Amino acid sequence: MIKILVSDPLSEEGIKILTEVKEFQVDVKTDLTPDTLKEVIKEYDALVVRSATKVNKDIITAAGKLKVIGRAGVGLDNVDLEAATQKGIIVMNTPAGNTISTAEHTVSMILSLSRNIPQANMSMKQGEWKRSKFMGVELYNKVLGIVGFGRIGSEVAKRALSFGMKVLAFDPFLSVAVAQGMGVEVVEFKDILERSDYITVHTPLTEETKHLISTEAFAKMKKGVRIINCARGGIIDEKALAEAVKEGKVIGAAIDVFEQEPVAADNELLKLPNVIVTPHLGASTEEAQVNVAIEVAEIVRDALLGRGIRNAANYPCLEAEVCKIIEPYITLAERLGLFGSQLVEGRLQELHITYSGDIIQHDITPVTLALVKGLLTPILQETVNFINAVALAKERGIAISEVKSSKEHEFTTLIQLEIRTDKVTKRIYGTLSANKQPRIVKIDDYYLELSPMGEMIFIQNWDKPGVIGNLGTLMGKENINIAAMTFGRDAPGGKAISVLNVDSAVSAQVQEKIRKVENILTVKVIRV
């Protein structure tokens, strides 16, 4: 008997899908303490959660039989993905289940902002009749700027276009042709800030997107702009937003997600009459909850019955013996994608992968999936996984090709990744070391040996005496320990690349100091 534990409330439609399988024993226990969960998880083959249950390393370590964790929702903040991966536990989520719900909530917020609906409702219930106080604006002919054009962003765009709005979209992975086919104009982030009457964000929260909408961003916006966030708390700097509202730069804001949830009573946004707030309701519709319950039940059922794996966040291949052989290549490919995505500039257009050496004896499909997942992860985060990565890339108009080459190289196995954007073409070559660890051995025409791991400072510089010493001195002054350094050059005295693996985060201020070092041309921080 396969035992499944459902530890958070799940719609009956999802529970029914699991209980109908005669091989399953399904236990619904929704108020388990962490200690109790740690004790009982030993008995179960699968765990189904929403956001309340914290599946940390201790829980995973205690799980003797666990094969599958299903998350009814998009985010995986409450699941230790690394610990699960190390133990061979498949982790799956439901990235599409709340798409329509969140898109509709976003549009509801836009309409409420435009017509002052919550404020007028409150006024009337206080016995007032002040029509002139709540003069609104039309959406027709207004400019909506969408930051992040994935599933939810594109659904918002469809609805905004139906109101006669002009829609601008910023998304590094969005094809111009795909957007134009929808009637959407692809622009840079600064254009969103400068041209939009409304700005809505639909990106994951990452180090790059944290406080993306900041004091500096507000300074570039039109006076009277309206701001909406139904994505993730922290993308908008709440203190900066409050100040922009009080100064009149932002005429209104509608916020569903916050940096701290539940929201502190002293949060300034709660005190501003032209800021509409809701308690993280984006996915809170009956339909969305049913959709994610059905989806998580189906993917858990199918995984346990050997019918295939969908929406896997950490498991690109299915057969254990195959995984054992190609797992090092999968790790290498994902690291190459992560590295390349952060290295290039411009809008992704084409991805060409060439496999050569020992790897061509095997099915390379899981390796390609891992590479594309790595490429998309810096922007899409938990919404991309090993199963949907290629489909998401194609949705955004990124052309993908792969070939096996019998051409001999100096390396036993080589994966060559060529990334083309609207600005550059970049080639990155990866292989495995003798102990099966991923290595980047060439970038364009520069040979080097780089371990793509952790925090890296990627520098282009002139090959002149003193550069390395100056960098070491600066890192010492900033108390940043250098774990490894690797270099490559095209000719003595010519252009070179220097990559520093470091043990701590490199701030924007430190990056600026590096740029001012003599003979430094460009600086970029890459996190893998």
Contact residues for 507 (Cβ-Cβ < 8 A; gap 6+): none
Measured in Å, how far apart are the chain's first and last C-alpha atoms? 40
For residue 279, the SS3 value is coil
Q: Which residues pair with 428 in a beta bridge?
A: 417, 443
The residue behind tokens 């997107």 is 209
DSSP assigned state of 69: E
Q: Which helix (H) or strand (E) holds 482?
A: strand 482-489
| Residue in 128, 138, 216, 261 annotated catalytic | 261
Is residue 280 part of the annotated active site? The answer reads yes
Sign (positive or negative) of CA dihedral 244, 248, 250, 254: positive
CB-CB neighbours of 248 under 10 Å = 10
Tokens of 424: 């550059």
Verify whether residue 261 is a known catalytic residue. yes
Question: For residues 400 and 398, what is the distance between their CA atoms, to the nearest angstrom?
Answer: 6
User: Which residue out of 115, 195, 211, 280 is catalytically annotated?
Assistant: 280
* From 71, 232, 347, 439, active-site residue: 232
Say how far apart CA 342 and CA 149 lie, in whole Å.
18
Separation between Cα atoms, residue 317 and residue 327, nearest integer Å: 9
Residue 237: both structure tokens together: 């700097």
Q: Which of 151, 142, 149 is nearest to 101 (CA)?
A: 151
**Residues 451 and 344 sit within 8 Å (Cβ to Cβ):** no
Catalytic residues: 232, 261, 280
